[in-house]
Amino acid sequence: MPVWLQAGFWGWVAGSALLLGAAVGYFARVPQRLIAAIMAFGSG
């Protein structure tokens, strides 16, 4: 598989995960403590 195609695929996967997370956050009630834990994990 060409490198440019592989990079495009992984970019698409990352972008779709962002959209999926935004949709879940918009339509579902997520406790603030869980949001804080996810943000703390993401920040390293």
Q: What confidence tens digit (pLDDT) does each residue in 1-44 have?
A: 899 999 999 999 989 988 988 898 899 998 999 989 988 998 87
Q: How far is CA 29 from CA 20, 23, 33, 37, 40, in A?
A: 15, 11, 12, 15, 19
So what's the pLDDT on residue 9?
96
Q: Can you give the pLDDT at residue 42?
A: 84
pLDDT of residue 40: 92
In this prediction, residue 4 carries a pLDDT of 97
pLDDT computed for residue 7 by the predictor: 97
Phi/psi class of residue 29: alpha, beta or left (left: φ > 0; alpha: ψ in -120 to 50)? beta
